[in-house]
Amino acid sequence: MAASRVYRAVLRCYPAPFRRRYGDDIIIAFDDLRADRGIRVAYWRALVDLVVTIPKYRLESAMSEHRARFTLVVLTITLAFAGFTTLAVGSWPVSVCLLACAALLSVSQRSAVAPGVPTRVAGRRRRLFVAAVVSFVVFACSVVAFLVDIGDDHVAGGALLFYNAIGMLSLVGGIVMTIALVNDYRQFR
Amino acid sequence: MPGSDVGDYLPLPQAQFHVLASLSERELHGYAIMQLVEETSGGVVRIGPATLYGTLKRLVDEGLAEESERRPGEDDQRRRYYRLTALGRRVCMAEVDRLDALVRRTQRNLRPGTA
Say whether A53 and B1 touch across the interface (CB within 8 A): no
Longest dimension (CA), chain B: 55
pLDDT class of B8 with cuts at 50, 70, 90: confident
Please say if the pLDDT value at position A118 is more than 50: no
Cis peptide preceding B112, ω within 30 of 0: no
Q: What pLDDT is stored for residue B53 in this prediction?
A: 94
pLDDT of A116:
40
Lateral strand order in the sheet of B28-29: B28-29, B81-84, B65-68
Nearest one of A99, A165, A167, A174 to A139, comparing CA atoms: A167
For chain A, the maximum distance between any two Cα atoms, rounded to a whole number of angstroms, is: 86
- Put simply, the answer to whether A49 touches B51 (Cβ < 8 Å) is yes
**Yes or no, beta carbons of B50 and A28 under 8 Å apart:** no
pLDDT above 80: residue A35:
yes
B21, B92 contact by CB (below 8 A)? yes
* Predicted confidence (pLDDT) at residue A157 exceeds the cutoff of 90: no
CB contact under 8 A, A28 and B79: yes
- Which band of pLDDT confidence, cut at 50, 70 and 90, is reported for residue B64? very high
Strand partners, B28: B82
Interface predicted TM-score (ipTM) = 0.84
- pLDDT of residue B3 exceeding 60: no
Q: What is the mean pLDDT of residues A138-151?
A: 73
- Give how far B114 is from chain A: nearest CA, Å: 41
What distance, in Å, lies between the first and last C-alpha atoms of chain B?
Answer: 41
Residue A187: the pLDDT is 60
- pLDDT tens across A37-88, in order? 888 988 898 899 998 898 888 877 766 666 666 777 777 778 888 887 777 7
Does B76 contact A at CB distance below 8 Å? Answer: yes
Q: Is B54 on the interface with A (CB under 8 A)?
A: yes
A106, pLDDT greater than 80: no
Asked if A132 contacts A80 with a C-beta cutoff of 8 angstroms, the reply is: no
Answer whether B50 sits within 8 Å of A33, measured CB to CB: no
> Which pLDDT value is given to residue B38?
93
Q: How many CB pairs under 8 A join A and B?
A: 60
Name the minimum distance, in Å, from the CA of A101 to any CA of chain B.
32
Query: For B80, which of A25, A49, A56 is closest by C-beta distance?
Result: A25
Average pLDDT for A120-147: 74
Q: Does residue A126 contact residue A110 with C-beta atoms inside 8 Å? A: yes
CB contact under 8 A, A46 and B46: no
Q: How far does the CA of residue B48 sit from the closest CA of chain A (Å)?
A: 5
Query: What is the 3 state secondary structure string of chain B?
Result: CCCCCHHHHCCCCHHHHHHHHHHCCCCEEHHHHHHHHHHHCCCCCCCCHHHHHHHHHHHHHCCCEEEECCCCCCCCCCCCEEEECHHHHHHHHHHHHHHHHHHHHHHHHHCCCCC
Distance CA B103, CA B37 (A): 20
Instruction: Provide the pLDDT confidence category of residue B31 given band limits of 50, 70 and 90.
Output: very high
Q: Does B52 touch chain A if contact means CB atoms closer than 8 Å?
A: yes
Q: What is the DSSP annotation of A92-152?
A: HHHHHHHHHHHHHHHHHHHHHHSTTS-HHHHHHHHHHHHHHHHHHHHHHHHHHHHHHHHT-
Question: What pLDDT is attached to residue B1?
Answer: 46
Contact between residue A74 and residue A128 where contact means Cβ atoms under 8 Å apart = no
Interchain contact, B50 vs A14, CB within 8 Å:
yes
